[in-house]
């Protein structure tokens, strides 16, 4: 068996193209984070997001089979690292839109894919999509049977249309640029109120314009300050019956499948933030004397801290790449590796950035330095996309309990 982490020529070209775009365009959107309200900050990023679309990066996230230019999750990881290390907010707007399209890509019919994905395949405009899973009060127990509530948003058939009622929260860009909704919302909802949870939940695509989307507030998040995370409601929102994605009652399985690939990408988000923090701390250590004779990198404590950080970054990157490869090749170990990448990459990002703040010292507490902002962004990684405690470790625990679990499967040595 050959193990090779060398990027192919097209992947290397994608990496350099993404790096240039991040430096020349994405970096300029950072000023948006200084505006006073969450919506103002989000709206200020619209020209930069449009530039991403015009440059074809959204198309590069949609598979060839659906009319896009994406060859796999490793390509997504390459883009994600370059973009997220420079501007997490705008990057999350694009990758959140991709997440919003995943139920269509994974569960949609050819007709649904052709119709619903069309606005996202061009190189113009600012199309947004959202995966409406999380609800106020939390969704870690979405499959909970009675007396647990599970998914509380409901959809009922009236003739040939679904009528959706309920509330959602933490869904990237869901209320759009104007509070009236993203171009596509894939809504996780209860379609059979009395059925067991594995047959009660479905995913329905809501197309813009759709009346009845009620904006409640834009969350003032700790990090990702220029990314929109709304709380909102569905009040008799209507969608055609043929916008049901996958099988009726198959929503939990479709949701789980959608979040498998994203777990590996969250690991890469952690790598990106650690990389940006390391670059700053390394430059600081090489140039700052702090009143002494030598640059502080000459001190063993500083050098060892930098060495530990760099080692962790490399480990997290290669675990995430391995997970992405497993998803791309539909390996039986894909679920385990993706969850491990998510947990490890997200939690080590918080720890490593904090350790690098110790290296820089009190100047890291100044927002003129990037470390505080990077830490604020990193704090979201262990708790979104399926929280590491409420969801991801539980998923690993479930895998470990299976009678047929093979510990060496993830290493390819089973």
Of the candidate CATH numbers 2.170.120.20, 3.90.1310.10, 2.40.110.10, 2.30.110.10, the domain formed by 129-248 belongs to 2.40.110.10
Is residue 1 scored above 70 in pLDDT? no
For domain 9-121, the CATH architecture is Orthogonal Bundle (1.10)
pLDDT band, residue 360 (cuts 50/70/90): very high
Which residues, in sequence order, are bridge partners of residue 157? 162
Q: With H, G, I as helix, E, B as strand and everything else as coil, classify residue 246.
A: coil
Buried b (16+ CB within 10 A) or exposed e, 56-77: ebbbbbbeeebebbbbbbbbbb
Over residues 372-401, mean pLDDT: 96
Single pTM value for the model: 0.96
Q: Under CATH, to which class is 253-401 assigned?
A: mainly alpha
Is-contact 133 188, C-beta < 8 A? yes
Whether 385 is a known active-site residue: answer: yes
What integer best gives the mean pLDDT of the chain? 96
Name the active-site residue from 183, 335, 377, 385.
385
**Cα–chain-centroid distance for residue 370?**
21
Task: Give the closest residue to 117 by CA, choosing from 182, 201, 216, 183.
Answer: 183
Mean pLDDT of 211-219: 98
**CA–CA dist 307, 304 (Å, integer):** 5
Tell me the pLDDT band of 138, cut-offs 50, 70 and 90: confident
Q: So where are the chain's domains?
A: 9-121, 129-248, 253-401
* pLDDT at 144 > cutoff 90: no
Give the HSE-up count for residue 236: Cα atoms under 13 Å, Cβ half-sphere.
1
- Beta-carbon contacts of residue 74 (< 8 Å; ≥ 6 apart): 11, 321, 324, 325, 328
The tens digit of pLDDT for each residue in 304-320 reads 999 999 999 999 999 99
Instruction: Quickly list DSSP for 164-233.
Output: EEEEEES-TTTTTTTSS--SEEEEEEES-TTS-HHHHEEEEEEESS-TTEEEEEE---SS-TTS--EEEE
132 phi/psi in degrees, rounded to 5: -85, 85
Contact (CB, 8 A) for 249 and 192: yes
Alpha helix segments (H runs only) across 69-186 = 73-84, 88-107, 110-116, 118-121
Pairing of strands 161-169, 230-240: antiparallel
- Banded pLDDT at 2 (limits 50, 70, 90): low
Please say if the pLDDT value at position 266 is more than 70: yes
Strands (E), 16-160: 129-132, 154-158
Question: Taking residues 269-295, what's their average pLDDT?
Answer: 96
**Phi, psi for 70 (deg, rounded to 5):** -90, 130
Q: Say if residue 413's pLDDT is above 90.
A: no
Asked whether 247 and 199 are in contact (CB, 8 A), the reply is no
């Amino acid at each position: 068996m050959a193990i090779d982490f060398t990027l192919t020529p097209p992947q290397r070209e994608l990496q350099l193209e993404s790096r240039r775009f991040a430096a020349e365009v994405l970096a300029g959107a950072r000023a948006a984070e200084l505006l006073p309200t969450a919506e103002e900050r989000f709206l200020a990023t619209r020209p930069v997001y449009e530039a991403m679309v015009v440059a074809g990066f959204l198309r590069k996230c949609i598979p060839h089979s659906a009319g896009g230019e994406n060859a796999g999750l490793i390509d997504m990881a390459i883009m994600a690292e370059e973009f997220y290390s420079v501007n997490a907010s705008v990057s999350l707007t694009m990758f959140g839109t991709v997440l919003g399209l995943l139920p269509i890509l994974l569960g949609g019919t050819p007709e649904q894919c052709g119709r619903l994905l069309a606005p996202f395949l061009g190189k113009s405009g600012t199309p947004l999509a959202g995966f409406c899973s999380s609800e106020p009060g939390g969704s870690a127990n979405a499959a909970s049977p009675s007396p647990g509530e599970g998914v509380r948003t409901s959809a009922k058939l009236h003739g040939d249309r679904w009528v959706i009622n309920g509330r959602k929260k933490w869904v990237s860009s869901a209320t759009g640029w104007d509070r009236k909704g993203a171009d596509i919302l894939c809504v996780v909802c209860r379609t059979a109120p009395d059925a067991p949870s594995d047959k009660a939940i479905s995913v329905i695509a809501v197309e813009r314009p759709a009346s009845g989307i009620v904006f409640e507030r834009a969350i003032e998040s700790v990090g990702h300050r220029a990314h929109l995370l709304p709380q909102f409601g569905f009040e008799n929102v209507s969608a055609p019956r043929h916008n049901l994605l996958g099988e009726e009652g198959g929503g939990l399985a479709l949701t789980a499948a959608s979040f498998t690939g994203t777990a590996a990408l969250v690991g890469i988000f952690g790598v990106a933030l650690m990389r940006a923090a390391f670059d700053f701390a390394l430059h600081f250590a090489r140039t700052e004397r702090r009143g002494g004779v030598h640059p502080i990198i000459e001190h063993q404590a500083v050098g060892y801290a930098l060495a530990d950080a760099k080692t962790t970054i490399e480990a997290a990157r290669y675990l995430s790449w391995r997970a992405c490869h497993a998803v791309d090749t539909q390996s039986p170990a894909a679920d385990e590796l993706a969850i491990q990448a998510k947990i490890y990459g997200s939690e080590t990002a918080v720890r490593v950035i904090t350790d690098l703040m110790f290296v820089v010292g009190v100047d890291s507490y100044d927002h003129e330095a990037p470390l505080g902002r990077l830490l604020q962004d990193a704090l979201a990684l262990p708790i979104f996309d399926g929280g590491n405690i409420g969801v991801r470790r539980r998923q690993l625990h479930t895998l470990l309990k299976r009678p047929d679990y093979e510990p060496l499967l993830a290493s390819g040595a089973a």
